[in-house]
Chain A
């Protein structure tokens, strides 16, 4: 439990809580990028540099920008929102708080977390590439297929059908 971990934890939780709590959707996504960057910094602190920079590229770089584009394309200025939360907000908050209570008590009581401090493992990008090309080559190929299918599927779903009928 170091000071840097506490600082990063406060930044991450603050960013994500603001992302789920602010009224303006664009502000929510901006706060979300802070939260994602905090998680990436936690990965760097844990010694997983490759995953940390992947997190920055994929989440801060792609997912947040995609969400901003979606918010701008679906913005309806004629509609004034009375409230940002749904009518079942109380039940949702209670369920989320209960889930956190169960998880926190399980973590607090678990014997698996009471082990000695282990040395920081050193992982190079070459090791990750080697194991992606040998041990994990089949999952890698399936992932490529999945990403291609998702790309084509997203374009087909979001395509404007009125253009075809003309």
Chain B
């Protein structure tokens, strides 16, 4: 197994763990954390392809990873604020009980 294959397999495993968490957990905050794990797996792919790709001097993978981390941070802040607002309204973060869109 080449090093790139090792990193890509690890990244696929991280993505699957995040996807399993996002699909099976009931706590909305942990679902958001699962989505963050999936974004982390994508970032690991960017860095691995940059490192083992044909043009590592171009810095494209690093730039993409930095911007992706920034977008993920903004997404986490807004997502947790939405969860707090929903909790204030329905007094729960259980996704099985949040079944109404109307306020």
Q: Which A residues form the contact surface with B (CB < 8 A)?
A: 1-2, 5, 9, 12-13, 16-17, 19-20, 25, 28-29, 32, 35-36, 39, 42-43, 46-48, 50-51, 54-55, 58-59, 62-63, 66-67, 69-71, 73-74, 76, 79, 81, 83-89, 91-93, 95-97, 99-100, 103-104, 107-108, 113-115, 117-118, 120-121, 123, 127-128, 131-132, 136, 139, 143, 146-147, 150-151, 153-155, 157-158, 160
Given contacts A35-B37, A99-B16, A147-B74, contact A55 B69 (CB under 8 A): yes
Chain A: interface secondary structure? helix
A-B contact count (CB 8 A): 232
User: A108 is contacted by which of B5, B85, B91, B94 (Cβ under 8 Å)?
Assistant: B5
Q: Cβ of B87 and Cβ of A123 under 8 Å apart?
A: no
Residue of A2, A42, A62, A70 contacting most chain B CB atoms (<10 Å): A70
Q: Which B residues form the contact surface with A (CB < 8 A)?
A: 1-10, 12-21, 23-27, 29-30, 32-34, 36-37, 40, 43-44, 47-48, 50-52, 56-57, 59, 61-63, 65-67, 69-78, 80-85, 87-88, 91-96
Q: Cβ of B48 and Cβ of A46 under 8 Å apart?
A: yes
Given contacts A39-B40, A127-B59, contact A100 B12 (CB under 8 A): yes
Least Cβ–Cβ distance between B42 and chain A, in angstroms: 11
